Structure 1
Amino acid sequence: MNSLKSDLEQFICVGNDVVELKLVKSEDDFFNNKKVFRPEMTHQLFGQTENIFGYKDLRIQLYYSSTRLAVYLNHNYSEKINPNQYEGVKADNVIKAIVDTLEIQPITSKDEFIKELAKESTFKPSGNLIHSYSREREGSTSQFQVYKHDRMSLDSFREYHSRMQTFLWFFIDGASYIDTDDDQWLYYTFFEKQVEGSSTRYNFVGYMTLYRYYAYPDKIRLRISQLLILPPYQKQGHGAEILQAIYRDFVSDINVLDFTVEDPSDNFVRLRDYVDCKVCMNLPSFQADVIHKGFTHTMENEALEKSKIHKKQVRRVYEILRLRATDMSDAEAVKAYRIEVKQRLNIPFQKQKNELEKLKKVLKPEELAAAMQAVDTNERFKMLEKWYQEHIDAYMRVIGKLSS
């Protein structure tokens, strides 16, 4: 039995290590291993362990043409498990798992895919161009553009969206496809504009989706749902550039109240903190000579007017910028900051305490003792200190970026 288990373990590989993603601009790119980037996760395709069973030296090639996002899918391996030799145990059908999850009809012929590359120069982004900017990339200046789609009105964009959203499974945890028939969705696509002689290419960089919610009594609240920037374009400042462009797109819209974010990742929280701090640090109420006086409604109003920042996020921005303005060698100033932040963090415990006071009138003694144990003072202090330190660590990373 142990021998069989040991033999079978030879046929286990990790999905993250064997899936090759690539944006292909030319035939040379197809064969260039330096263009490969790996997924951050594959559990949404292959299960929680992210393991694939049944192959040795497995290599899964999932390549996209860089503008039209034509999809090539294939796999190879040095050996596949033989069910006749291993008590009928079969290899996972990895191609079916990918096709079914991504809902794609891939090209499986290398030659056919390379022929498709000839059509790349015919692609033009749909939607309205709302922002252009440049970045130094690979030793030269590259131009980038952001396009807005108010709704899924064009069949051509519907098809394009169906391909670009397939990247979600590899980079967004808990990914799911949205209902494109719902007109409350907004779409933003990002491209690298590349001029080559007389032709212009638009290489896909990423995209963002927002949803329009009702905000009482007569406004719309925009919720950022998905933001994806592909690995070849990450850590180049695109996220901040794009988020600021979208803020500007709505700042004068009297129907839009503010922005919120749906279940943000840690990376997006840092991005949003940075962008919002950049906006607010230039506003009068956030200046160093007044920010130490405490949080005010003026701060909320100025941030809302400037970039439609939600009031809860304004409070977080205030804490970051006040920490930035605090003299860390001044013990009293540091103490005052710590007390104010902990008072905010203590609000859930205070609500719990107030509820307990009400329950004292109706609970039996043993039930009351159990409830009081849940709000043990020492445990509350420990939890508050833990939360406080986590916030300070996150805030200091943003402050470091603001200073760079």
Structure 2
Amino acid sequence: MSTSISAASLQPEQWTTSANEAVKLFVTDATGAINFSPTFTYPIFGDAETIYGYKDLVIFLCFDHFTFKPFFNVKYSAKLDDPDIVDLEQVLRKFLPESAIYKDESKWADSIQEEKEAGYTIPGELIDSFEKDDSAYEIYKINVKDASGLELHKRLQILVLLFIEAGSYIDTSDELWDLYVLYNKDSSSIVGFATAYNYWKYPGSVKFDDNKREIRKKISQFIILPIYQGKGLGGALYSHLFDVWHKDEEVVEVVVEDPNESFDDMRDRADLSRLNKVLEFSKVTPKVESSWVEETRKSLKLEKRQFSRLLELILLYKLKHSNEVTKKDVRLFIKKRLYNKNKEGLSALDENTKKDKLQTAYEALEDDYYRILGDLRLSIKRAGDNQNNGNSKKAKVA
């Protein structure tokens, strides 16, 4: 039970709590609750990620595994008697849907049961499914223009603030946004979700006159709940979404908005695994023609930066696992791109300094590429080998 205490006689540090430590997240089902912690809380509690005025503060934020309906509660042993102390219930309500239940856990459980008894279903279109590690998964495209689809989005969106640096809510009134949700079919549990924006691209006068659209899909937000991470589900969701978009004639390119390092790693490995099935790696050489690169990139619907990375990764893999390329040729191929990318800054340097800078950049990139490749196996073999490395071990995706 809280007590009212005058702030004047107390030290401020005794009443300051780390918001990241105070917030306890749970996903609950019939068997219990799984706890995890946020990565960020500054969008809710300020840049310092601290909460002032409470002692022994704990903020519970719970979600049902299927409907994701939220429940939250705030507990503390004492609160300062100061009008400037924030009301945590009011703060959290700004970021949660109106359906969120405060304090009354029984009411929350009853409301979830009522939703299910009323025939709650996933408010979207099943666009793909797959099996992984003896579990079945489904990907739904959620219609946020529909009331039930919009409600699910409102229940999910606080995770964007808690797990994506500089994350913000999307404008659901903009019809160019899409929401995709990954479910574990066996446990009827939400595993993760992604949002993508459909940028219209002018297709040229002929296609425009024929009412043909061209779209660039930009992945904006991508989350696998921490309790489901480490199982390759991020790579699986990304790959299956990419496959769906690749089959869509209107989609001409798939890009990603400001990916962090972990997403870049996952994306690189997932793209390499996909290319392993559709691209003749024998054509990827340091002497490859720019016309082939551009034509192939467009057919794969990859952005230029990403396809360049993939070609360089494939060449370094070849360097390590085959005798098709030489170290010098691969190094010069990669340095050429590095030089063109940094041409303006390098042009002011003398020749020796320029060479040193390029070599340092190349070595750092080479180390990073080999880290990304890890134990990935691609369909490349040494001349004279009888066994294809790609068949000896399935490719692993982060």
Structure 2 residue 118 is matched with structure 1 residue 124: no
Q: Do the aligned partners of residues 38 and 383 (structure 1) sit closer, same or farther apart at CA in structure 2, a change above 3 Å counting?
A: farther
**Does the Cα contact within 8 Å between 2:284 and 2:311 map onto a contact in 1?**
no
The aligned residue for residue 226 of structure 1 is 221
The aligned amino acid for 2:370 is M
CA distance in 2, matches of 1:342, 1:384: 7
For residue 106 of structure 2, the aligned residue among 97, 104, 111 is 111
CA distance in 2, matches of 1:342, 1:75: 55
State the superposition RMSD in angstroms. 2.9
CA distance in 2, matches of 1:169, 1:304: 34
The aligned residue for residue 395 of structure 1 is 369
In the TM superposition, what is the alpha-carbon distance from 1:112 to its structure 2 partner?
Answer: 0.9
The aligned residue for residue 215 of structure 1 is 201
For residue 193 of structure 1, the aligned residue among 178, 185, 190 is 185
CA distance in 1, matches of 2:297, 2:275: 6
In the TM superposition, what is the alpha-carbon distance from 1:106 to its structure 2 partner?
Answer: 2.4
Please give the per-residue CA displacement for 1:290-347, whole angstroms capped at 9, x wherever unaligned: 5344464324433432x422233111100011111114999x9333322321221121
Q: More helix per residue: 1 or 2?
A: 1
CA distance in 2, matches of 1:402, 1:303: 22
CA distance in 2, matches of 1:343, 1:78: 63
**Does the Cα contact within 8 Å between 1:295 and 1:315 map onto a contact in 2?**
no
CA distance in 2, matches of 1:286, 1:300: 16
Q: Do the aligned partners of residues 295 and 399 (structure 1) sit closer, same or farther apart at CA in structure 2, a change above 3 Å counting?
A: farther
Please give the per-residue CA displacement for 1:193-237, whole angstroms capped at 9, x wherever unaligned: 13xxxxxx6311121111111223342211111111111111211
Q: Do the aligned partners of residues 264 and 82 (structure 1) sit closer, same or farther apart at CA in structure 2, a change above 3 Å counting?
A: same
CA distance in 2, matches of 1:272, 1:154: 31
Q: Please show how residues 301-316 of structure 1 align to structure 2 within 5 Å.
A: 301-305=295-299, 307-316=300-309
The aligned amino acid for 2:159 is F
The aligned residue for residue 350 of structure 1 is 343
TM-score (norm 1): 0.79
The aligned residue for residue 56 of structure 1 is 55
CA distance in 2, matches of 1:217, 1:170: 38
**Does the Cα contact within 8 Å between 1:72 and 1:110 map onto a contact in 2?**
yes
CA distance in 2, matches of 1:283, 1:81: 64
**Does the Cα contact within 8 Å between 1:300 and 1:314 map onto a contact in 2?**
no
The aligned residue for residue 327 of structure 2 is 334
CA distance in 2, matches of 1:62, 1:125: 22
The aligned residue for residue 146 of structure 2 is 154
In the TM superposition, what is the alpha-carbon distance from 1:59 to its structure 2 partner?
Answer: 0.9
Structure 2 residue 244 is matched with structure 1 residue 249: yes
For residue 9 of structure 1, the aligned residue among 6, 13, 26 is 13
1:281 match: secondary structure: helix
In the TM superposition, what is the alpha-carbon distance from 1:352 to its structure 2 partner?
Answer: 5.2
CA distance in 2, matches of 1:66, 1:376: 60
In the TM superposition, what is the alpha-carbon distance from 1:239 to its structure 2 partner?
Answer: 1.6
Structure 2 residue 28 is matched with structure 1 residue 24: yes
**Does the Cα contact within 8 Å between 1:132 and 1:146 map onto a contact in 2?**
yes
The aligned residue for residue 71 of structure 2 is 72
**Does the Cα contact within 8 Å between 2:128 and 2:139 map onto a contact in 1?**
yes
2:128 match: secondary structure: strand
Please give the per-residue CA displacement for 1:125-172, whole angstroms capped at 9, x wherever unaligned: 122212222233xxxx332100124x5331111111111112111011
In the TM superposition, what is the alpha-carbon distance from 1:64 to its structure 2 partner?
Answer: 0.9
CA distance in 1, matches of 2:307, 2:280: 12
CA distance in 2, matches of 1:13, 1:387: 42
CA distance in 1, matches of 2:252, 2:131: 30
In the TM superposition, what is the alpha-carbon distance from 1:6 to its structure 2 partner?
Answer: 8.3
The aligned residue for residue 100 of structure 1 is 94
TM-score (norm 2): 0.80
Q: Please show how residues 374-385 of structure 1 align to structure 2 within 5 Å.
A: 375=349, 383-385=357-359
In the TM superposition, what is the alpha-carbon distance from 1:20 to its structure 2 partner?
Answer: 0.7
The aligned residue for residue 270 of structure 2 is 275
Please give the per-residue CA displacement for 1:227-273, whole angstroms capped at 9, x wherever unaligned: 11111111211122122212221223332211111111212111211
The aligned residue for residue 390 of structure 2 is none
The aligned residue for residue 197 of structure 1 is none
1:319 match: secondary structure: helix
The aligned amino acid for 1:206 is G
CA distance in 2, matches of 1:94, 1:399: 45
Q: Do the aligned partners of residues 302 and 339 (structure 1) sit closer, same or farther apart at CA in structure 2, a change above 3 Å counting?
A: closer
Q: Do the aligned partners of residues 91 and 377 (structure 1) sit closer, same or farther apart at CA in structure 2, a change above 3 Å counting?
A: farther
CA distance in 1, matches of 2:125, 2:138: 10
The aligned amino acid for 1:173 is E
CA distance in 2, matches of 1:74, 1:342: 55
Q: Do the aligned partners of residues 118 and 328 (structure 1) sit closer, same or farther apart at CA in structure 2, a change above 3 Å counting?
A: closer
In the TM superposition, what is the alpha-carbon distance from 1:280 to its structure 2 partner?
Answer: 2.0
The aligned amino acid for 1:267 is S
